[in-house]
Amino acid sequence: MQTIRPAIESDADLLPEIERSSGETFCQIPALAWIADDDVQTADRHRVLISRGSSWVATVDRDVFGFLSAERHGEMLHIWQMAVHFEHQGKGLGRALIDAARQWAKARSLSSLTLTTFRDVPWNAPFYESCGFALVAPDSSPFLKNVLEAEKKAGLPIEARCAMMLKL
Protein backbone atom coordinates (compact mmCIF):
# COMPACT_ATOMS: atom_id res chain seq x y z
CA MET A 1 0.00 0.00 0.00
CA GLN A 2 1.29 3.45 -0.98
CA THR A 3 1.29 6.27 1.57
CA ILE A 4 2.79 9.73 1.94
CA ARG A 5 3.87 10.86 5.38
CA PRO A 6 6.04 13.57 6.87
CA ALA A 7 9.68 12.55 6.89
CA ILE A 8 11.22 11.75 10.26
CA GLU A 9 14.86 11.97 11.31
CA SER A 10 15.44 8.24 10.92
CA ASP A 11 14.49 8.54 7.22
CA ALA A 12 17.40 10.90 6.50
CA ASP A 13 20.00 8.16 6.00
CA LEU A 14 17.79 6.43 3.39
CA LEU A 15 17.15 9.45 1.21
CA PRO A 16 20.55 9.98 -0.49
CA GLU A 17 20.40 6.44 -1.91
CA ILE A 18 16.88 7.04 -3.23
CA GLU A 19 18.13 10.18 -4.97
CA ARG A 20 21.05 8.24 -6.48
CA SER A 21 18.67 5.58 -7.77
CA SER A 22 16.32 8.24 -9.15
CA GLY A 23 19.22 9.78 -11.05
CA GLU A 24 19.69 6.58 -13.08
CA THR A 25 16.88 7.80 -15.31
CA PHE A 26 19.24 10.48 -16.65
CA CYS A 27 21.32 7.75 -18.31
CA GLN A 28 18.69 7.87 -21.09
CA ILE A 29 19.99 11.32 -22.12
CA PRO A 30 23.67 11.12 -23.08
CA ALA A 31 24.36 14.82 -22.45
CA LEU A 32 22.96 14.50 -18.91
CA ALA A 33 24.06 10.96 -18.02
CA TRP A 34 26.67 12.43 -15.64
CA ILE A 35 23.80 13.32 -13.27
CA ALA A 36 23.45 9.64 -12.38
CA ASP A 37 26.86 9.89 -10.70
CA ASP A 38 26.57 13.45 -9.42
CA ASP A 39 26.47 14.49 -5.76
CA VAL A 40 23.16 14.19 -3.95
CA GLN A 41 21.67 15.97 -0.97
CA THR A 42 23.40 14.73 2.17
CA ALA A 43 21.66 12.99 5.06
CA ASP A 44 22.62 15.97 7.24
CA ARG A 45 20.92 18.39 4.82
CA HIS A 46 17.85 16.14 4.87
CA ARG A 47 17.85 16.27 8.67
CA VAL A 48 17.79 20.07 8.57
CA LEU A 49 14.83 20.13 6.18
CA ILE A 50 13.04 17.38 8.11
CA SER A 51 13.42 19.42 11.31
CA ARG A 52 11.62 22.29 9.58
CA GLY A 53 8.62 20.08 8.84
CA SER A 54 8.71 20.48 5.07
CA SER A 55 9.88 17.07 3.88
CA TRP A 56 7.77 14.05 3.01
CA VAL A 57 8.43 10.45 2.09
CA ALA A 58 6.52 8.05 -0.12
CA THR A 59 6.25 4.55 1.21
CA VAL A 60 5.11 1.29 -0.32
CA ASP A 61 4.30 -1.33 2.30
CA ARG A 62 6.11 0.89 4.85
CA ASP A 63 9.41 0.92 2.92
CA VAL A 64 10.56 4.39 1.76
CA PHE A 65 10.90 4.73 -2.02
CA GLY A 66 10.58 8.47 -2.61
CA PHE A 67 10.89 11.89 -0.98
CA LEU A 68 10.26 15.56 -1.48
CA SER A 69 12.35 18.05 0.47
CA ALA A 70 11.33 21.68 0.55
CA GLU A 71 11.87 24.86 2.49
CA ARG A 72 9.74 27.89 3.14
CA HIS A 73 11.04 31.16 1.72
CA GLY A 74 8.71 34.03 2.51
CA GLU A 75 5.33 33.20 1.05
CA MET A 76 6.72 30.36 -1.10
CA LEU A 77 7.50 26.73 -0.42
CA HIS A 78 10.55 25.94 -2.53
CA ILE A 79 11.06 22.32 -3.54
CA TRP A 80 14.77 21.57 -3.35
CA GLN A 81 14.56 17.96 -4.43
CA MET A 82 12.03 15.30 -5.30
CA ALA A 83 13.20 11.79 -6.05
CA VAL A 84 11.57 8.41 -6.52
CA HIS A 85 13.57 5.19 -6.54
CA PHE A 86 14.20 4.06 -10.12
CA GLU A 87 12.15 0.87 -9.70
CA HIS A 88 9.12 2.78 -8.38
CA GLN A 89 8.96 5.61 -10.91
CA GLY A 90 5.79 6.06 -12.95
CA LYS A 91 3.49 4.78 -10.19
CA GLY A 92 2.14 8.09 -8.90
CA LEU A 93 4.53 8.59 -5.98
CA GLY A 94 5.85 11.88 -7.35
CA ARG A 95 2.38 13.32 -7.87
CA ALA A 96 1.38 12.25 -4.36
CA LEU A 97 4.48 13.96 -2.92
CA ILE A 98 3.67 17.18 -4.81
CA ASP A 99 0.13 17.00 -3.46
CA ALA A 100 1.42 16.65 0.12
CA ALA A 101 3.62 19.73 -0.32
CA ARG A 102 0.71 21.65 -1.88
CA GLN A 103 -1.59 20.78 1.03
CA TRP A 104 1.07 21.76 3.58
CA ALA A 105 1.65 25.12 1.85
CA LYS A 106 -2.07 25.84 1.55
CA ALA A 107 -2.60 25.07 5.24
CA ARG A 108 -0.01 27.77 6.00
CA SER A 109 -1.57 30.27 3.57
CA LEU A 110 1.51 30.34 1.36
CA SER A 111 1.13 31.79 -2.12
CA SER A 112 3.00 29.22 -4.20
CA LEU A 113 5.25 26.23 -4.64
CA THR A 114 8.45 26.86 -6.59
CA LEU A 115 11.28 24.80 -8.01
CA THR A 116 14.02 24.78 -10.60
CA THR A 117 14.46 21.93 -13.04
CA PHE A 118 15.49 20.90 -16.54
CA ARG A 119 13.27 22.50 -19.17
CA ASP A 120 13.22 19.73 -21.79
CA VAL A 121 13.62 16.53 -19.76
CA PRO A 122 10.25 14.70 -19.88
CA TRP A 123 10.23 13.79 -16.18
CA ASN A 124 11.23 17.33 -15.19
CA ALA A 125 9.47 20.49 -16.48
CA PRO A 126 6.81 18.63 -18.53
CA PHE A 127 5.99 16.46 -15.50
CA TYR A 128 5.72 19.49 -13.22
CA GLU A 129 3.53 21.27 -15.80
CA SER A 130 1.17 18.28 -15.65
CA CYS A 131 1.00 18.88 -11.87
CA GLY A 132 -0.05 22.52 -12.38
CA PHE A 133 3.32 24.31 -12.35
CA ALA A 134 4.07 26.98 -14.96
CA LEU A 135 7.37 28.38 -16.21
CA VAL A 136 8.27 31.73 -14.71
CA ALA A 137 10.96 34.23 -15.61
CA PRO A 138 13.94 33.68 -13.29
CA ASP A 139 14.00 37.37 -12.42
CA SER A 140 10.35 37.24 -11.28
CA SER A 141 11.74 36.31 -7.87
CA PRO A 142 15.11 37.31 -6.41
CA PHE A 143 15.14 33.96 -4.60
CA LEU A 144 14.64 31.91 -7.79
CA LYS A 145 17.22 34.02 -9.62
CA ASN A 146 19.72 33.28 -6.84
CA VAL A 147 18.93 29.55 -6.94
CA LEU A 148 19.59 29.42 -10.69
CA GLU A 149 22.80 31.42 -10.29
CA ALA A 150 23.98 28.94 -7.63
CA GLU A 151 23.13 26.05 -9.96
CA LYS A 152 25.21 27.66 -12.72
CA LYS A 153 28.16 28.06 -10.35
CA ALA A 154 27.76 24.39 -9.37
CA GLY A 155 28.19 23.39 -13.02
CA LEU A 156 24.62 22.75 -14.16
CA PRO A 157 23.96 23.71 -17.79
CA ILE A 158 21.98 26.85 -16.99
CA GLU A 159 20.64 27.22 -20.55
CA ALA A 160 18.75 23.96 -19.98
CA ARG A 161 17.34 24.96 -16.59
CA CYS A 162 14.15 26.82 -15.73
CA ALA A 163 12.19 28.13 -12.77
CA MET A 164 8.62 27.01 -12.20
CA MET A 165 5.79 28.05 -9.91
CA LEU A 166 2.48 26.61 -8.83
CA LYS A 167 0.20 29.37 -7.54
CA LEU A 168 -2.02 28.37 -4.65
pLDDT tens, position by position, for the chain (168 residues)? 889 999 999 999 999 999 988 877 877 777 777 777 777 889 999 999 999 999 999 998 889 999 999 999 999 999 999 999 988 998 999 999 999 999 999 999 999 999 999 998 888 999 999 999 999 998 889 999 999 999 999 888 889 999 999 999
Q: Which CATH architecture has domain 2-167?
A: 3-Layer(aba) Sandwich (3.40)
Q: What is the pTM of this model?
A: 0.92
**Domain assignments of the chain as residue spans, ordered by start:** 2-167
Three-class DSSP labels, the chain: CEEEEECCHHHCCCHHHHHHHHHHHHHHCHHHHHHHHCCCCCHHHHHHHHHCCCEEEEEECCEEEEEEEEEEECCEEEEEEEEECHHHCCCCHHHHHHHHHHHHHHHCCCCEEEEEEECCCCCCHHHHHHCCCEEECHHHCHHHHHHHHHHHHCCCCHHHEEEEEEEC
Q: What pLDDT is attached to residue 20?
A: 87
